[in-house]
Each structure stands twice: as C-alpha cells, then as structure tokens.
Amino acid sequence: MIVRIAQYPLKKRLLLGIASIAVVLVAQQALTMIAQGRLPFLLIGAALPFVTVLFGTFSGALLLVTGIGFGALWMEPVGSLDVWRSNDQIVLLAYTVVGALLVVAGQQLAKVAQRAGRAETATHDAADRLLQVERDARHRFDVALNSAGVPFFIVTPVLRDGHIAELRWDYLNEAAARLFNPAAGVVVGSSTLYVRPAGWDADLLLSRLAPLAERDGRDAFDVQVQGEDGEQWFHVVAASLQGSVVAWCGDVTPRVRAEQALSEADRRKDEFLATLAHELRNPLAPIRQVAEILEQPGVTDERRQWCVTVLRRQSAAMALLLDDLLDVSRITRGALTLRKEVVALREVIDEAVEIARPILEGKAHELVIESPIRPLHVEADRLRLAQVLGNLLTNAAKYTPPGGRIVLAVTADDAEIVLSVEDNGIGIEPDKLSAIFSMFSQINPDHHREGGLGIGLALSKSLIELHGGRLTASSAGKDLGSCFSIHLPAECRAVAAPMPARDAPAVALAKRCILVVDDNIDAADALTAVLELEGHEVRTVYSGEEAIDVLDHYSPEVILLDLGLPGISGIDVARRIRATPATKDVTLIAITGWGQPQDRERTAEAGFDFHFTKPVDVVQLNEAIESAGAAA
C-alpha cells in the first residue's frame, strides 16, 4: 500500500495527509482526556513516519508542529503554550528532536517507496507492452495465414504408454476451418480420430504426421477425398515444430483432373490414329483391288462400270472422313461460319434421311417421322443442320440391330424447337453418357467395326452450339436404346421467305378450307375469287373481330390474315389463334404491305408460318397453302 500511495499525485497525497493528521489529533485528544497525562501526546510522534512516508514531508512536518503545540497546551499550565516545568521542557525537546528524526526517516522511506513504485509501474508497463506485442504478433500471424487462402494447421501428438496414440488440432486458419463439416463444431482441441476435414482418412493423417512429431523432418503427400462435387485431391506439405507438426495443404484437384484429361486425351489420340488408319484402309483396299481389276485384259463394260461405281463410293467415303476432320479444324480455329437462311424443317429432314438412307435400308430399319401439323421454318445453315441430323440418324442406324425402329420427332413450343432421334439399339451405359461428345470418343468401343473416327458427335455438338442451341443425349442403359436431341432456341424460328416466281404446276392442288381476313373489301374479295378458282373452300371476313367470331363455328386449315386491320390488329388476332387449342395448329399466312426484316420478326413472334407482301405471287401462295397439313 505504501508503494501504491507513493505513486499518487502530490495534491491527492496532501489532502490525504491533512485528513490523517485530523484523525490522529482527534485520537490524541480522546486519549489525553482519558489519561490526563502529558505523555499521551507522544502518539503523534508514533504516527510521524507513517504520515511522512504515505503523504509526504510537508504532512509529516505539519503533524510534528501540531504535536509540539498540542503537547505544550496540555503541560502545566494547561491551556497555555508556555511550559514552566523543566521535566516538561525536556520531554517536549526530546519529542521535537525525535519527531524531526522520524520525519527525516519517513522522507527517505518515501523516496524508496516512490522508486519502488516507479519500478513496479515500469514492470507492469513492460509486461503490458510484451503482452500487446504478443497479441500483435499473433494477430499478424492470423492475418497472414488467413489472407494466404491456403489451408494451414498445427497438430500436437497425444501420448499413451510412450507412443503417439492420436493427434490434437491446435490451430486452424480460416481456409483450413472451411474444410470441416459445420456439424463438427469446435475443432481446436479435438482429436483427429474423431474430427477431421470431410472425407479425409484419420489413419492416413496419423501415419504420415506422427513421425514428424517424434523427430525433425519434412514430408509431402497427396490426399484423395470424396467430396460433394466428386473426387478431390489435396497436396499436403508438413514439417516438425518443437514436438508439434505444422502443415499446409492445397486443393490440387484442377491439376490432377487436367493431368487425367491429358492422359485420357493422349489415349484417345492413340485410339483415333488407330481408328483413322482402319477407316482409311477400308476404302483403300477396294480401290486398290479395283485398280488391279481394271489392269486385267478383257474387262467387260459391265465390270468396268461396277469398278467405277466402287471407286466413286469409296472415294466419297474418304472425302467424308476428310471433310469431318477439316470441319473440326475450322471450328477449333473459329474459322467456320454459318450460312444462315430461312429453311423449312421438312426439307432439312428430307436431306438428312437421304444421307442416312443407305444404312437404314441396308439394315432394314423402320424409320418413323413424327412432326407437327403446321409447317415449321427456322433460320439456320441448311447444310450444317442436315449434316448434324443425318449424323444422328446414321449413328442410330449403326448401333441398332437389323430390323430396329428409329423415330425422328419434331416438337416446338414457346421456348425451343426440338428434333430428336430415338432408337431401340445397343444403348449407352450411364457412366459413358458424359464422354460421348468428347473428341475421338466412340459410343461403344466394342463396335469399332461399325466405323467412324469418334468425331461425329463432337462436331455435331459444336455445329448446334454455333446455332445458339445444344445437343443432348439420354439412354436408359445398355441394350435399352438411346435418344439424341437437337435443341434450337425459339429465336431461330422464322416465317418462310418468298420463293422465286415460277410457272404454276400442271397438277391439281389439294382442296383446303381457307379463311381470308382483310379490311380492304376489294382485295379480300379478289383473293377469295382466285382461291375459289383453285378449288378451295373459302370464307371471307373484313375485320379482326369478325375473324375471331367466325372461328367459333368454322375450322379452316389455312388463314390468310392482313396485319393492318382496324380495331384488333392482325398480330393480335394471330396471338389469339395460337392461344386457342382448337386453332393453334392452323397454318397462318400473313398478307401485308409491310416487308422489312423487323416486320418479319414480328410475324414470326406472333406465330405466323409464312409472310407475303402485297401483291402476292399466286404460285408462291399456292405452295404455302399446299404445305398446310403436310409434315413440317
């Protein structure tokens, strides 16, 4: 307490000293009144050193002077400062000398107490500074390790019978903590046997890290775990640290997967080269044999014609292989461009079927084409779209046993247009579905005899993606068939472009039920007359409202609709027709004076199948009407 009070400010110590003097005087007064003697005032002297040490020299001197005066007042004559008797004078003098010495001694003790107090304060300050330095260092340590973003941890061994039985987590940075399942709760202080990163093996951690806790050293190893997103790999670098083990670990999954992909690509490259050699030898063999036949004397014209046919067929097969390779190269370099035009899907389907017809007929497959009632047109590269669809039909025929069934279906809605090829062939195992669109991948390695370089599906996928669509595959499993689907966005849908004018065909047109809607009475009646001369059944109305009303009791196959109608416009009428189940499949033909690209976009969005500008070419109109009811 002396050291602590010695550190008080001077003003505070002085106030405490005066208070202490008052307490001493009151005590002395009470004692003197009881004892009625002259010596009790010496109690003041006993308090002198304590007051001086605690509250300073001034307080001690004040108490000494007060004590002298107090003693004089109580000596004979009482109540006067005069001291007559010699004994009293000696006592008073002795008190004065001893009190002065006590004040001086107290002053020295106060200095010692102040020095001790300063030393104690310095010690506390140093301890606080060291503690703050330690906290700052730990904070910098945490910030540095957390900012690195790499998992870091420290484990300490737990000994049983002199051997390391388990490891205890002593430190984790934020990146390391994220490796643990949240349900693990508090990690620090837990055993690695019970709490560890999700999917990590406790025995592996113990076997690889425990030796480093027993001796100085360093180790690096890989850990394979089964995470939520599949297999993951971590590379761990660990080192000894005064009986503990520090370790960094990094997620090297991308690197491992890249290495696996490179290895897989290298394997596929070798397979591709072997397959390429096989595919080139197939046509080369008959070409060489035909050359030898042609060299023989006496070759008949029939045999020579057969040789020419074989040469053409086999050279075409080689050209097809080379074309696929060139297309892949162009796509890889970004050099392949699409030549888009408005094309009828019916025409694309016909071309694709022609591509696959030889193998379809050769294996006696049944081909079923399912398409919507309405004609369907898309803006696409006709050649490339037919190439992709033909490739899907060819694959379906290849991998379906003879006499199989292949269904080509076309569906369309507000979101997309889908062309799917479904077969009942050998199917695809689930674990191979994700790889079939990769370059040089074979649908089934056991069917190399079917031919192909393993680039057809990869090429098809890229071509469809260039159209803004996607190519998907599904299968219920081995020997359960498969289905490949081309998904084109709804934005690809378009109205038919005007066809070049030509002479009217001599054959009679099929009779159709037609509704003509035009607010120009003369134009509507004239068009009706032309259509009736062609043998069609025609109803005529002159406004959008009439058209909607008449459709309640009349079911036309074709509607010729003017856009610029008063009241309800032709665009709105078309939308209502498409929204009504009874009329949603009717063929809609726009007859309008608006012919800009943006006008065609509006009619396509509204659901029109054809867009003709006035005056309408009758031959083109007849072909559009004839397409009603035909497969799209």
pLDDT of residue 333: 67
pLDDT of residue 496: 67
Span 31-39, mean pLDDT?
A: 48
Phi then psi dihedrals of residue 145, to 5 deg: -70, -35
**How many Å apart are CA 464 and CA 483, to the nearest integer?**
16
- Considering all CA atoms of the chain, what is the largest pairwise distance in Å, rounded to the nearest integer? 177
Question: Is 38 part of any domain?
Answer: yes
Last residue of a domain, one of 333, 364, 395: 333
pLDDT of residue 459: 80
Collect all residues with Cβ–Cβ distance below 8 Å to 72 and sequence separation of at least 6: 80, 81, 82, 83, 92
pLDDT of residue 559: 94
Question: Is 177 part of any domain?
Answer: yes
**How many Å apart are CA 521 and CA 527, to the nearest integer?**
10
DSSP string, 93-146: HHHHHHHHHHHHHHHHHHHHHHHHHHHHHHHHHHHHHHHHHHHHHHHHHHHHHH
**How many Å apart are CA 253 and CA 97, to the nearest integer?**
92
Q: Taking the mean position of all CA atoms in its chain, how far away is CA 410?
A: 33
481 and 350 share one domain: yes
227 and 357 share one domain: no
SS3 category, 426 = coil
Question: Is 455 part of any domain?
Answer: yes
Span 2-6, mean pLDDT?
A: 53
Q: Count of CB atoms within 10 A of residue 39's CB?
A: 13
Last residue of a domain, one of 74, 104, 122: 122
269 and 220 share one domain: no
Residue 235, pLDDT above cutoff 80: yes
User: CATH number for the domain including 479?
Assistant: 3.30.565.10
481: left (phi over 0), alpha (psi -120 to 50) or beta: left
183 and 198 share one domain: yes
Last residue of a domain, one of 251, 273, 289: 251
pTM over 0.95: no
Q: Count of CB atoms within 10 A of residue 323's CB?
A: 12
Question: Is 462 part of any domain?
Answer: yes
Question: Is 127 part of any domain?
Answer: no
pLDDT of residue 30: 57
What digits encode the pLDDT tens for the residues 257-296? Answer: 888 888 877 776 776 666 666 566 667 777 888 888 888 8
Question: Is 500 part of any domain?
Answer: no
Span 480-490, mean pLDDT?
A: 91
SS3 category, 199 = coil
Question: Out of 8-12, 248-252, 425-429, 595-599, which region has the weakest mean confidence (pLDDT)?
Answer: 8-12
What digits encode the pLDDT tens for the residues 411-446? Answer: 988 788 999 999 998 888 887 777 787 766 665 554
* Per-residue tokens: 204: 């592996």
Span 24-50, mean pLDDT?
A: 56
Give strand pairing partners of 341. 380
Residue 593, pLDDT above cutoff 90: no
Question: Is 377 part of any domain?
Answer: yes
Residue 504, pLDDT above cutoff 70: no
Domain count, the chain: 5
Model confidence at 368, pLDDT cuts 50, 70, 90, reads very high
Model confidence at 448, pLDDT cuts 50, 70, 90, reads very low
pLDDT above 70 covers a percentage of the chain that reads 75
Quick check: bond before 297 cis, omega within 30? Answer: no
325 and 358 share one domain: no
280 and 229 share one domain: no
344 and 414 share one domain: yes
240 and 271 share one domain: no
User: CATH number for the domain including 217?
Assistant: 3.30.450.20
pLDDT of residue 449: 45
157 and 217 share one domain: yes
Question: Out of 106-120, 154-168, 365-379, which region has the weakest mean confidence (pLDDT)?
Answer: 106-120
pLDDT of residue 517: 93
363 and 474 share one domain: yes
Which of 193, 25, 555 lies closest to 17 in space, CA to CA? 25
Span 312-339, mean pLDDT?
A: 72
159 and 246 share one domain: yes
Question: Out of 128-132, 163-167, 321-325, 417-421, which region has the weakest mean confidence (pLDDT)?
Answer: 321-325
What digits encode the pLDDT tens for the residues 380-402? Answer: 888 889 888 988 998 899 889 99
Give percent helix, percent strand, percent coil of the chain, each to the nearest 5.
55, 20, 30
Q: Count of CB atoms within 10 A of residue 553's CB?
A: 6
pLDDT of residue 155: 85
Per the CB < 8 A criterion, the answer to whether 549 and 506 are in contact is no
Looking at every residue in the chain, the average pLDDT score rounds to: 78
More confident residue, 103 or 311: 311
Which of 305, 307, 381 lies closest to 342 in space, CA to CA? 381
Q: Which helix (H) or strand (E) is 16 found in, with range?
A: helix 10-35
Give strand pairing partners of 483. 422, 474
486 and 345 share one domain: yes
Residue 6, pLDDT above cutoff 80: no
**How many Å apart are CA 337 and CA 40, to the nearest integer?**
121
Domain of residue 33, residue span: 2-122
User: CATH number for the domain including 584?
Assistant: 3.40.50.2300
Span 218-231, mean pLDDT?
A: 80
Question: Is 582 part of any domain?
Answer: yes
Residue 407, pLDDT above cutoff 90: yes
